[in-house]
């Protein structure tokens, strides 16, 4: 069964299709891609698994493919330049389409290349990780890292479609799957307390990757994200709620050099810290913070920070791209299921939270 979620941007609506074996379905893929010329951008890991079936599903079109090295460390301008070269090499023009087949790194780079090649060509997201299916592939944020920080260079460029084939999650390493669950939990925490209840009740099925549970979790995540993006595409307001846990998380990722920690793992710890700060604000009860920590721990995610040092963590948060005019705005929880983007918190409470977690953590 295929679920459909529409992202309702004025004049540029697009569908997210969610279901098993969608990449084998020629009518789904060809229906989503108008272009005659398609460059499939994939990774060295994902390409061998799924490239040929996507090629088959696009038969009749002129298809080229490019496999990029895996990992955040390669999410750079230099790698994106290889996509431009491949487009030029194939003599693809403004009416071509770039298909991103893989995880968030591939999607971010392929989308950014699509935003910039000849000032914008179509692209379609074919996410193959849970993280990409529930989060990264939706909403049009594309870009690359700079040595000074993640995603500092990029563009807003919406895909023409997102096709989330949940069968691909079977080949995902369990640690990557759990990392994706962090963003699912995030969606519940910022927007939907009932979904948090559901997650607590179905976590075992999710971890066992039972198809019905996985499809519902992906669908509900997409619905929440689609609604927020539709209300605030360029993140002038509410969309920033989706950064819950990310400012703290980015500090961990940057401190550890984007490698030891998976994105969702860093976000998991970041959400615990943000929940603790929300408690210090008097917004969450201790029992709420315990629920956040427990659901993440049950999902197999880390809930303790590494030993970054509080001062360094603050500096790393200060260079984060979500800083507004030098003042750190954070996403906190007013209640489970209700987020607020605010600079109106006690700086001392932030300092305490950082000292508690970043000084005491494991080295």
Which helix (H) or strand (E) segment is 294 a member of? helix 286-298
d(C-alpha 326, C-alpha 318), whole Å: 7
Question: Least distance to its own copies from the beta carbon of 46, Å?
Answer: 25
119 among known catalytic residues: yes
In the complex with its own copies, which residue's Cβ is closer, 6 or 95?
A: 95
CB closer to its own copies out of 79 and 278: 79
Active site (annotated) includes residue 235: yes
Shortest distance, CB of residue 50 to its own copies, whole angstroms? 28
CB atoms within 10 A of CB 155: 15
Closest to its own copies by CB, 146 or 355? 146
Check residue 11 for interaction with its own copies (CB under 8 A): no
Binding residue (CB under 8 A) for its own copies from 118, 167, 227, 342: 118
Selected binder of its own copies within 154, 245, 264, 302 (CB under 8 A): 154
Window of 6-14, 150-158, 196-204, 334-342 that interacts with its own copies by CB under 8 A: 150-158
- Contact between 308 and 360 (Cβ < 8 Å): no
Q: How does strand 330-335 pair with strand 37-43?
A: unpaired
**Could you confirm whether 21 is annotated as catalytic?**
no
34 counts as binding its own copies under rule CB under 8 A: no
- Residue 153 in contact with its own copies, rule: CB under 8 A: yes
307 is annotated as an active-site residue? no
State which residue, 56 or 324, has the beta carbon closest to its own copies: 324
Tell me the per-residue interface mask from 302 to 341 with its own copies, x by CB under 8 A, - otherwise. Answer: ----------------xx-x-xxxx---------------
CB of 52 to its own copies, least distance (A): 27
Catalytic site residue 225?
A: yes
**Contact present, 141 and 105 (Cβ < 8 Å):** no
Task: Give the residue, chosen from 4, 12, 91, 175, that forms a contact with its own copies under the rule CB under 8 A.
Answer: 91
What tokens does 156 get? 């807003």
Q: Which of 74, 150, 178, 263 is catalytic?
A: 263
Catalytic: 357? Answer: no
225 token code pair: 């994200």
Minimum CB distance to its own copies smaller for 78 or for 362 = 78
239 in active site: yes
Torsion of the alpha carbons at 133, 316, 274 and 295, rounded to the nearest 10: 50
What is the Cα–Cα distance from 133 to 135, expressed in whole angstroms? 6
Residue 4 or residue 94: which is nearer to its own copies going by CB?
94
How many other C-beta atoms can be found within 10 angstroms of the C-beta atom of residue 100? 33
Are 233 and 145 in contact by the 8 Å Cβ rule? The answer is: no
Residue 215 dihedral angles phi and psi, to the nearest 5°: -65, -40
- Residue whose tokens read 């000032």: 119
Point out the catalytic residue in the list 243, 253, 280, 329: 243
Verify binding: residue 9, its own copies, rule CB under 8 A. no
The residue from 53, 74, 75, 141 that is catalytic is 141
In three-state secondary structure terms, 161 is: strand
Question: What is the distance between the alpha carbons of residues 274 and 55, in angstroms, rounded to a whole number?
Answer: 43
| Residue 324 burial (10 A CB sphere; 0-12, 13-18, 19+) | exposed
The least CB distance from residue 245 to its own copies, in Å, is 20
- In angstroms, the CA 113 to CA 82 distance is 9
- 200 carries an active-site annotation: no
Nearest distance, CB of residue 257 and its own copies, angstroms: 17
Instruction: Please give the DSSP secondary-structure letter assigned to residue 151.
Output: E
Tokens of 363: 């080295």
Query: What are 317's two structure tokens?
Result: 């948060």
| Cα dihedral 129, 134, 137, 139 in deg (nearest 10) | -170
Token pair recorded at residue 180: 């994706």
Among 81, 194, 231, 360, binds its own copies (CB under 8 A): 81
Q: How far is the CB of 117 from its own copies (least distance, A)?
A: 7
- Catalytic positions are 119, 141, 183, 225, 235, 239, 243, 246, 250, 263
Q: Which residues bind its own copies (CB under 8 A)?
A: 36, 77, 81, 84-85, 88, 91, 93-95, 115-120, 141, 143, 146, 148-149, 151-156, 234, 318-319, 321, 323-326
């Amino acid at each position: 069964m295929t679920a459909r979620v529409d992202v309702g941007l004025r004049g540029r609506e697009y569908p997210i299709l969610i279901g098993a074996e969608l990449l084998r379905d020629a009518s789904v893929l060809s229906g989503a891609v108008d272009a005659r010329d398609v460059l499939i951008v994939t990774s060295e890991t994902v390409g061998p698994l799924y490239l040929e079936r996507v090629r088959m599903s696009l038969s009749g079109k002129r298809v080229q493919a490019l496999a990029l090295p895996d990992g955040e460390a390669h999410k750079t301008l230099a790698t994106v330049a290889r996509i431009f070269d491949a487009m030029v090499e194939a003599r693809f023009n403004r009416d071509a389409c770039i298909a991103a087949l893989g995880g968030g790194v591939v999607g971010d780079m392929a989308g950014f290349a699509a935003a910039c090649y000849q000032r914008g060509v179509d692209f379609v997201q074919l996410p193959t990780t849970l993280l990409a299916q529930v989060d990264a592939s939706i909403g049009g944020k594309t870009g690359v890292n700079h040595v000074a920080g993640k995603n500092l260079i990029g563009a807003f460029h919406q895909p023409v479609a997102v096709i989330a084939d949940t069968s691909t999650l079977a080949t995902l390493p369990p640690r990557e799957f759990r990392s994706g669950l962090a963003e699912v939990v995030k969606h519940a925490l910022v927007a939907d307390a009932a979904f948090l209840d559901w997650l607590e009740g179905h976590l075992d099925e999710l971890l066992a990757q039972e198809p019905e549970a996985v499809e519902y979790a992906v669908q509900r995540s997409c619905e929440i994200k689609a609604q927020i993006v539709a209300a605030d595409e360029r993140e002038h307001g509410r969309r920033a709620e989706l950064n819950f846990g990310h400012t703290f998380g980015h500090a961990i990722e940057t401190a550890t050099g984007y490698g030891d920690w998976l994105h969702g793992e860093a976000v998991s710890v970041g959400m615990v810290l943000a929940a603790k700060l929300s408690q210090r604000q008097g917004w969450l009860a201790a029992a709420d913070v315990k629920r956040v920590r427990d659901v993440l721990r049950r999902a197999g995610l880390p809930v303790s920070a590494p030993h970054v040092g509080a001062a360094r963590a603050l500096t790393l948060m200060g260079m984060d791209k979500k800083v507004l005019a030098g003042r750190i705005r954070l996403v906190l929880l007013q209640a489970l299921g209700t987020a607020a983007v605010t600079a109106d918190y006690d700086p001392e409470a932030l300092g305490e939270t950082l000292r508690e977690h970043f000084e005491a953590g494991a080295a």
